[in-house]
Every structure is written in C-alpha cells, then in structure tokens.
Structure 1
Amino acid sequence: MWAKRYLSLDASRPAWAYALDAIIANHTTKSAKAARPRTKINVFLQDWNANTTTRSGLPVYARNLLNTAKKHNLSLGAIKMDKNLKRKLPLWYHLGADKHLKKLNNTTISDCLREKHGVTTIASLQRALRGEGGCDAPIYGQESVRDNCTCTTCQDLRGRGCKHPRRCRQAADRLLHFILPKWNPEDATPGDGLTLTRRRKRRNQDMLETSEGDFVFDPSVTEKGELSEAFRVFVEEDTTRHPPALRPARGRVVHQGKPPVQLKTSSTVFNALRAWKSAQEQMVSAQLAQDKSATLKKR
C-alpha cells in the first residue's frame, strides 16, 4: 500500500512522497554518485539505483518500501504507451535510453538544457528542440542561424544565461534520437488494433452505471492516462526494453512519420544527364532513319 501511494504521480500524490523522492535521491549506489542532483527525479521512473544496504543511512521505512518493490519486480512495465504518456517520462537516466544518451546525462551542454531551458521530461525536451514555441529557424544546413539569432526566444535564452541556443537545440535533437523506439514519442508506432470502439465503451459505461447488459473486456495493450497506471509487478526486464509484437497491417501499408527524402544535385550533374538524354534520343532517331532507309531499298 505504501508503494502504491508513493507511485501516485497525479494530483492526488501525498506530500510525503515528494520528500521521499529527495531522501532516496541522496542515497544512491556508487554508479549513480556522478549524477547531478537535478537529474534524479524518481527511482522507479529512471535508470539509477538507490542504496538499500543498512550502512547507506537510508531510513528503514524507505528501505522496506524499495526492498519490497524489488522483491516483487515492481517496475514501469506497460507493454505499449501512447505518445502523451511517453512525453511525461523524465529525460535524464531514461529507462529507454541507449548507451549514447547515458553518456550525455552529465555534460556541460546537458547542464545548460536543465538549468537554462528547464529540460526535465521528454515534453520539455521537445519544446527546447522546437525553439520553445518561438524560434523556427533550422538547426542544420546552410539555412540554419548562428547563436546570434535575433528572435525573441533566442534573446530570452541568452538573457537566462544560454550562450549557444542553436547548439542546445542540436543537442536536444541528438538526445531525442538516442531514446529507443518503444519509448520515443517521435516514432510512429502502429496501433495495436485491439481498442474497443467508442460505442462499445459507452455501453460498458452504461453497464457500470445501471448493472444491465454485458461488459466487454478491453483487450488493448496501449497504456494511456497517468504514469501511475503503467506500473506492474513481476515484470521481466525484456518487457521494458523491447517493443511489443503487433499484428501486421493488412493490405497496402503507407508508412507515415518519416520525412520525404530530398535529393539535391549540382548543375554539372544536371547538364551531364541532359546531354546523355539528348544523345540517347539522337541515337534512337538515327536508328529509326536507318531502318526506314533499309526498308525503302528492299522495295
């Protein structure tokens, strides 16, 4: 029951749970000692461990809670999460981070993203990448702007102490790409095809209110709503690392979510292609003329 109350991550979360977050964050294993204080938000939502030994100094009630959770493999074990739920997860020490993101948790530019841009969750990282709603200048290529961008957003960031707004946006882009597909809200994951229709959901709701009719079980594996609802016990490690197996889509499939590929070529290559095409047309015309001449001679 204590673990359930502690993992209530919505508005109903008790005040003591926030205090316990800070206490646990101050008693970590050696592997997490290098973590910046602001990166450690919740041990069940991130990839770092608390030190639960008797010598750690962690209060008994906190050790009992964590050891009980560990005994029953309590973890964020939703098979599949919708995009809004993925955006609520902490970015730093992300559960679905690859080895590259883990190396970027405690860099100087990551410190700037946390302290100057307020990046703590995936949602805040996306806002930083998009220019926080103000700067729409490209961050790569010849059309990208330097760190002296004159837009209101970049000026505000420099006023807060960020010396390189564009470089921070580039870093945000890299961080987002280092999140595994199961956890990345930018990846277009197919629907599970198991969700009940709206009409069926309304009938289920009517049945709960009137106790009349049939209640149809919702077989959807996609978790929605709050993070509190995504916790499971007896979770295997593979469940948290790999995306679920989904039924293949029927018929012709149009893959969405990927930007169209643009090919650029120089005028030299274009002129060479045009010359080659012209030569091919001349060869065809000459061959047709030769065939026509041979036919007339036979007559």
Structure 2
Amino acid sequence: QTWSPNERKWPKRHKEMLKCAKKYGVEFDTFNPSRGIQGQLPLWHHFGENEDKTQVNNSKACKCLRANHGVKTVQDGLEIMKRLTNAEHKRSPACRCLACSEDRRVRNCENPQACIKAVENRLSSLVPKWDPRQPQRQSPEPSNNASSEAFVAPPPITSLTEGFRVLTRTLNQEPRDPQPPQPRDIPLDQDAPIKLFVGSATRRSNAGKLTAGGGLWRNDNRDGHAVLRLPDEQPQTALNAEAASALVGLRRAPQTQAVELTISKKALHRALTTRLQALEDRGWIGIAEREPLRALAAELKARTAPTFFREGDREIGCEKAAQLARQGCSEQDKVAVSKTSKIVFEVQQSLQLRGAKLSSLTQATAYAGIKELKASVTRKASDNSVKQITIASQLNFNSLPSPAQVWKSIRHKDFTRQVRNLLWKSLHSAHRIGSFWKHIPECEARGICQFCNETEDLEHILLKCKRPGQAQIWALAKDLWLRKHTSWPELSIGGALGCGLAAFTDEKGRALPGTSRFYRILISESIFIIWKIRNESVISKGGEPLPTNMIHNKWVHSINQRLLFDRILTNHAKYGKQNSINKSLVLQTWSATLLDEEDLPDDWIKEPRVLVGTEPKSSHPPSQPSGRRGRGQ
C-alpha cells in the first residue's frame, strides 16, 4: 500500500525489518496478474494507483464502505458492484432494490449509490494492469507445425507470496510505465507469418579485441534486413548479438501479425522458453546477456500476435543472416553497421518484472544482487595491476583479456589456495611492503630493500632483487621450461601475476593445454617460493640470506610435490569427476620435464620415484678427507 505507518511505538525488531525492506526495495509486482490476485489486494491506498489521477481514500462514502460495509479488498468492492447488473437497481440515492434497502436497514448506510460510485472511482484510479474489470491477455494457440514452438509468457502467480520481489532498484531500472500490455483479443492479421532469420558471428582483431556482430534476414524483403554490431559496453558474445538481432526484427514487424523466428543458438531458445521463468524469478541477476534478453522477452510479451520459434542453421535464410552477421563484426563495414545501443537498452517497463522473486531467492543470488545494487568502487592500484597483466598477455600470447577475465584467471583451478591468495593480494597491492611503510613514522626503513637500497615493492621482490633466491629460482624455472618449449616468455610483473592467462599453441594454431598448464604451475610455484624465502629471510632471520642449496631444494621439492599431487588426483574413483584430473592432461603437462624420462613407460602415473628433471642438492658441506693431519697443518 501507499500509506506509511507510524513507527514510533514499534518494537525495535519490526523497525529494523521495515528499514531493511525499504533499503533493498521489497515490492509486490507480477506480470499479467490473475483475477484471484487482483481481488486479494487492498482496495484502499492501492500500490497500483495511477499517479496521474486524483486518489480519494477518505471521503464520506469511503469511510462508510470501510466502517459499515466492511470493504477491505478489491474483491469486496466487486461484490458491492454486482448489484449494477440487477435490473431492479437504479443509479439513484432513492433506489429501493433489495440490496440497497438491506444496506440502509442492516448496515446503516445513508446513500448506497454513493458507496457504489466510490468503489467505481477507486477501481478506475488503478492502472489497467490491476483493474479486474479489464480484459486479460490470453496465451497464443499452440502451433500445428511440429518444428516450431509458440512463445508463452510465464503463467500468472497463484498466491500473494509469489508476488513479493526484492532488489527492485538494481540494474538501472526506471519507474514503471503505467501503460499496460495490450490484450490479445485485438483482431489479428490473417496473413501468413513473417519469417525472420537471425545469426551471429564473432571476430578477434590482431590486437586481441573481440567484436560480436548480428544479422537479420526477412523473407518478404520489406525493410527487414539488418547488419548489427553490439556496443562496446555490452559483452561481445554470439548469444548477445543474436538476441539483439531478434529484438530488432520483432520491433520492425507488426504486432498484429504472427512471426516465425528461426534462431541458431540453442541457449537463446532455452532462455526464451524453458528458462525464462527462472531468469525472471532471479531478476536477471548475474546474467551477462541480461540487457538484450530482458528487452527481447519484454517485446515478446507485448506482441498481440503469436510468435513461433524454430531452430536451424542450414536454411537459406540462416545462411543469409550469418553472412550479414560476419559483415557486422568486420572492421571494413563500419558504415553499414547499425547503432544498436539504444535498441538493446530500451525496455517496455510495464512488461518488465523488477527485482527477484523473494520466495525463491537464494543467499548467493541475493548477495550478487546486493553487489550490483552498490556502485562499483575502482582502486588505482588494482587498475594498474590489471593493465600490466593485460599488456603482458598481449605481448606474450597475442590476446587482450577483459578485466573480468584477468580477475577470473587468478582463481584458476591449477593454482593452489595459497597461490590464489598471494595473487589476489598482489593485484590489490595489499601486501605490507614498499610504499606501505612510507607514511608511517619511524617505519620508513621497512619499505627499503636492505640488499639493493631500493623501494621493496612486489616487482622488486619477484624480479629485480639481488638477495639470493630470486635470480636462482628463475634460472631453475627457465632451465626446466626449455626442456619442454623452445622459448622462454619475457618475464614482467604483469606476465608473472597473469600466468593464469597462458595460452600456448603449436605452429598450426592449435591449443596446447598441457604446455599452458605446466607454465601456470611453474610460474605460480616459483612466485610463491620467492615470496616465502624473502619473508623467511627478512622476518625470521633478520635479513640474513638463505643458503643457495636450501633455496634450490625448496624449489625442487615444491615442483615435485605438484607432480605428486597430479599423479594422485588422476584417481577418478577416489576423488570423483569434479576433483580429479584427466590422466592424459597430466601426461601432457609433465612430458619432457621428468628425470630419466627415456627409461619411463608411456604411462608413468603409477610408477614409483617419478621426479622432475632438476635434482636436489646436498644441504651439507663436503666432508674433510680422512687421515692424520701433519704438524703445521
């Protein structure tokens, strides 16, 4: 309801609940509500009131309806209005029909006709969506063609509990447009359905930038063809481009004529049919392609004529649409490309369900929605780290990852939990090193390297420090890597922290998953060992460097442990499909790096004493030769 209660005397817990509900936008909303839901809502201070009309809730007749007639809900008001269909009733204060006479005698109502008029005014002040007197939209008739499927909007809710939604102010959703969807009883065109074919294509430039294009082809050749390119702020995916193409095609087609939409992406077909209810229930939270999909779903709901879906990619129309899509993502055809940013973002608000359904909301979805509700805060240090990783990835692997891909790479499953924590803190510059101590009185010296007399930031520790350990470990890593690959990628702070983005290929451009995985393991473990020996030297030993043999053995032990864990995790029966590793991937990862590999069988997973090619060194000094020393020696 639109009125606000007096919270002064409320219990503290109730105040906190109401405050939380207001903060996260708890509202009641649904698409195409049923008659039962419309009737259960309060007639007074209705949240569906039309803001352009004067609202009357406390007139003399309204007070009589509440006090004498007991009218609380919309259904109670409809019961009062039933007498209007009685032939004996007259629209006059002096009406003597049975119902009006009973109101005067039993309920002490002075003017029953005024009360009836007040109910009419209350219902007329509602937007048509919530007025039970308005015609309802009906689902389209099922298709006779077995190869096509008609679009059917999610069914109306059956209880008030399902109508409460939360996080209704996320995703830049504007206030609702009071105009309702058109009912489906409008006369439809009897012409044959318009056939629309949509396609998509993606292209990666030499700089690594991914561009998605969409194509629309119409069978009647009436202003139906379109070449589309997604705006830069949209995810450049084929699904996004195809959804945008379908949206353009439906908006160009008359709403009163049936449309047969042929699509090539099964994911798009599922999103508009079997998954649409679930996507709307979660409020499109966490869906990368939510903008075009939400707009497309709204357009389908707004149509008065049915829309039919078909899956196909070998018809002439599909080939034409795919050709237009390739033109859309081509840099040579910028002039012919339409600007689709406005088309994607325009959504008919009366057909859009704001927020997520409260009754089916999970804690994970709620947390993700709250994060979207808050404005993202960018940190200068984090942005600089992401830029360094992006530049290094472009130089080493000719790819230009997005910031989201960079952050995802530090959680790669090939990294141990300790390495993930180290990389996450490193990208945020959260370590207490270098400039962290600069503005802390009497602690400035902690930010200076004792060996190099330079600022001890992460780049200095991992790549430049002269303290024993850093150069030695990278030399060991390079030596082991060159056993497997012909070239050693140029090391930089961005390349080291972005090792999760490694993507090696052969001469024909085919991916080498084993080589990429070995690189991720080698670089990440080396980074972690350098970090540990630095901390042990500075914190535990007061700046005294560790012996070179100890550093060598620590690194060899770390790599051998990863090899051992890989061999153990190939046991699918023990660790399950989710936690185990494919045996062939492990063999590809460690091939050409093992000690005496020529003597091992092809499948060495279960062989004892399988170690990497770098052997440990003795941690004890060489012993003195035995025998009696002479005098003076």
TM-score by length of 1: 0.51
Matched letter for residue 163 of structure 2: A
Residue in structure 1 matched with residue 16 of structure 2 by the alignment: 64
User: RMSD of aligned C-alpha atoms?
Assistant: 3.1
Secondary structure of the 1:163 match is coil
Residue in structure 2 matched with residue 263 of structure 1 by the alignment: none
Residue in structure 2 matched with residue 172 of structure 1 by the alignment: 119
CA distance in 2, matches of 1:91, 1:222: 24
> Alignment partner for residue 95 of structure 2, among 132, 149, 152?
149
CA distance in 2, matches of 1:226, 1:240: 24
After superposition, where does 1:30-109 map in structure 2 within 5 Å?
Answer: 46-51=1-6, 56-99=8-51, 103-109=55-61
Secondary structure of the 1:232 match is strand
Matched letter for residue 25 of structure 2: N
> Alignment partner for residue 305 of structure 2, among 226, 250, 272?
250
After superposition, where does 1:76-225 map in structure 2 within 5 Å?
Answer: 76-99=28-51, 103-131=55-83, 135-137=86-88, 144-159=90-105, 160-191=107-138, 193=140, 220-225=153-158
Q: 1:240 to 1:88 in 2, by over 3 A?
A: farther
After superposition, where does 1:226-245 map in structure 2 within 5 Å?
Answer: 226-236=159-169, 238-239=175-176, 241=178, 243=180, 245=298
Secondary structure of the 1:223 match is coil
Provide, for residues 53-93 of structure 1, a one-character-per-residue CA deviation record: whole Å limited to 9, x for no partner.
xxx23211101111221222111022331121111100100
CA distance in 2, matches of 1:95, 1:78: 12
CA distance in 2, matches of 1:84, 1:242: 21
Q: 1:77 to 1:172 in 2, by over 3 A?
A: closer
Matched letter for residue 158 of structure 2: G
Q: 1:101 to 1:114 in 2, by over 3 A?
A: farther
Matched letter for residue 76 of structure 1: F
CA distance in 2, matches of 1:137, 1:175: 24
CA contact (8 A) 1:113 1:119 kept: yes
After superposition, where does 1:270-281 map in structure 2 within 5 Å?
Answer: none
Residue 98 of structure 1: CA displacement?
2.4
Q: 1:171 to 1:147 in 2, by over 3 A?
A: same
CA contact (8 A) 1:85 1:225 kept: yes
CA distance in 2, matches of 1:48, 1:240: 21
Paired-residue identity, %: 26
Residue 182 of structure 1: CA displacement?
1.4
Which of the pair has more CA radius of gyration? 2
Residue 146 of structure 1: CA displacement?
3.1
Residue 230 of structure 1: CA displacement?
0.6
Q: 1:92 to 1:127 in 2, by over 3 A?
A: same
Q: 1:93 to 1:136 in 2, by over 3 A?
A: farther
Matched letter for residue 91 of structure 1: L
Q: 1:224 to 1:63 in 2, by over 3 A?
A: same
Residue 223 of structure 1: CA displacement?
2.7
Matched letter for residue 189 of structure 1: Q
- RCO higher in 1 or 2 (8 Å CA, sep ≥ 6)? 1
Give 1 or 2: higher strand fraction.
2
CA distance in 2, matches of 1:220, 1:145: 41
Gaps of 5+ in 2: 144-150, 182-297, 307-633
Residue 192 of structure 1: CA displacement?
5.4
CA distance in 1, matches of 2:76, 2:114: 16
CA distance in 2, matches of 1:116, 1:171: 14
Residue in structure 1 matched with residue 521 of structure 2 by the alignment: none
CA contact (8 A) 2:40 2:73 kept: yes
CA contact (8 A) 1:112 1:162 kept: yes
Q: 1:100 to 1:110 in 2, by over 3 A?
A: farther
CA contact (8 A) 1:137 1:145 kept: no
Secondary structure of the 1:130 match is helix
Q: 1:242 to 1:233 in 2, by over 3 A?
A: farther
Provide, for residues 223-270 of structure 1, a one-character-per-residue CA deviation record: whole Å limited to 9, x for no partner.
32111111111114635855464242238xxxxxxxxxxxxxxxxxxx
Provide, for residues 100-154 of structure 1, a one-character-per-residue CA deviation record: whole Å limited to 9, x for no partner.
7763101111111112222111111111112299x5445xxxxx35333332211
TM-score by length of 2: 0.25
Secondary structure of the 2:128 match is coil
CA distance in 2, matches of 1:47, 1:102: 14
Q: 1:70 to 1:158 in 2, by over 3 A?
A: same
Gaps of 5+ in 1: 1-45, 139-143, 198-217, 252-299
CA contact (8 A) 2:140 2:152 kept: no
Residue in structure 2 matched with residue 215 of structure 1 by the alignment: none
